[in-house]
Amino acid sequence: MMSTEVPAKHDRPSVLPLVLGIGSPHGDDRIGWLAVEKIRRRSPVPVVAHTVSGGIELLEHLSDCEAAFVIDAAYPAGTPGAMQSVVWPHVAIAGTPLLSTHGLSLFEALRLAEILGSLPRHVSIHTVEALCTSPGDSLSGEVARQLEPLVDAVLRDIVAVCRDEQTMRANPTQGSKASGTLRSSFVLRSSG
């Protein structure tokens, strides 16, 4: 019900790129959800796209795909609107706290998926630093301005990964090399 292009049943494995927007209705925390809505409409390749509210739902979806693209608001740190794109595993994600009373963090979800053998071959994480995330807050100007650049960045990422996948399938003898390139070609990119 939340997907485009293909039915969104959770237990249906898919080779299509999976786009997951993490968030809540509060302030800049919704940026992941807003990006997903735009990607559904604009993606040049078929994708499965979901909005989720936390790590546990992320974990549930991860087992269903081969490449995942996660979009989330980053914790306010003085540079609202700053974008980051990293590929898992990455030190920027490893610092997420492990202790929790009420859910799984992004790090926990991805690490758990790894342990359970359900982590997609490729996971990239795109974030925009939030300014305000309290109930009742609206989207800040700093973050709103980054919505289009964020969507563009994720779409470029999706297309690049799909191209690598096609290359690998067309030339299976270079499969391992292509796969390695897939992971290593994504480096930390900062803007804004």
Partner 1 sequence: MPSDQPPDSAVRPGDPVARSVERLIRVGALARVEGEGGLTIRLRDGVVDDVQLRIFEPPRFFEAFLRSRSIDEVPDITARICGICPVAYQMSACHALESLLDLRVPASLRALRRLLYCGEWIESHVLHVVFLHAPDFLGFESAIAMAQSRPEYAKLVRESLKLKKAGNAIVDLIGGRAIHPINVRLGGFYKSPTVAEMSSLPARLREVHDIARNLVRWTAALAFPPFEYDYEFVALRHDSEYPMNEGRLVSNRGLNIAMAEFPLHFEEYQVPYSNALQCRRRQAGAYFVGPLARWNLNADRATPEVQELARQTGISFPCKNPYVSIVVRSLETVYAIEEALRVIAEYEPPPAPFVAYEARAGAGAWITEAPRGILFHRYEADADGRVTSATIIPPTSQNQRQIEEDLIRFAPTVLALPEEQARWRCEQVVRNYDPCISCATHSLKLSVVRE
Summarize as ranges the residues that interact with partner 1 (CB under 8 A): 1-2, 10-11, 24-26, 29, 51-57, 59-60, 63, 73-77, 95-105, 108, 111-112, 115-116, 118, 130, 133-136
Q: For residues 96 and 181, which CB has a smaller minimum distance to partner 1 in the complex?
A: 96
Residue 27 Cβ vs partner 1, minimum distance, rounded to whole Å: 9
| CA nearest to 65, candidates 9, 147, 149 | 9
Residue 149 Cβ vs partner 1, minimum distance, rounded to whole Å: 22
Dihedral sign of CA atoms 124, 130, 135, 139 in order: negative
Dihedral sign of CA atoms 133, 136, 140, 146 in order: positive
Q: For residues 71 and 74, which CB has a smaller minimum distance to partner 1 in the complex?
A: 74
Residue 16 Cβ vs partner 1, minimum distance, rounded to whole Å: 19
DSSP H helical segments within 10-146, as ranges? 31-42, 55-62, 91-94, 106-116, 141-144
DSSP assigned state of 138: P
Measured CA to CA, the distance from residue 147 to residue 97 in angstroms comes to: 27
Angle at which helix 147-170 crosses helix 175-184, to 10 degrees, equals: 170
Q: For residues 41 and 102, which CB has a smaller minimum distance to partner 1 in the complex?
A: 102
Query: Phi first, then psi: what are they for 110, rounded to 5°?
Result: -70, -40
Residue 86 Cβ vs partner 1, minimum distance, rounded to whole Å: 15
Q: For residues 108 and 157, which CB has a smaller minimum distance to partner 1 in the complex?
A: 108
Residue 105 Cβ vs partner 1, minimum distance, rounded to whole Å: 6
Q: For residues 97 and 172, which CB has a smaller minimum distance to partner 1 in the complex?
A: 97
Residue 73 Cβ vs partner 1, minimum distance, rounded to whole Å: 8
CB-based burial, 119-143: b 16+ in 10 Å, e otherwise? bbebbbbbbbbbbbbeeebebbebb
Q: For residues 101 and 173, which CB has a smaller minimum distance to partner 1 in the complex?
A: 101
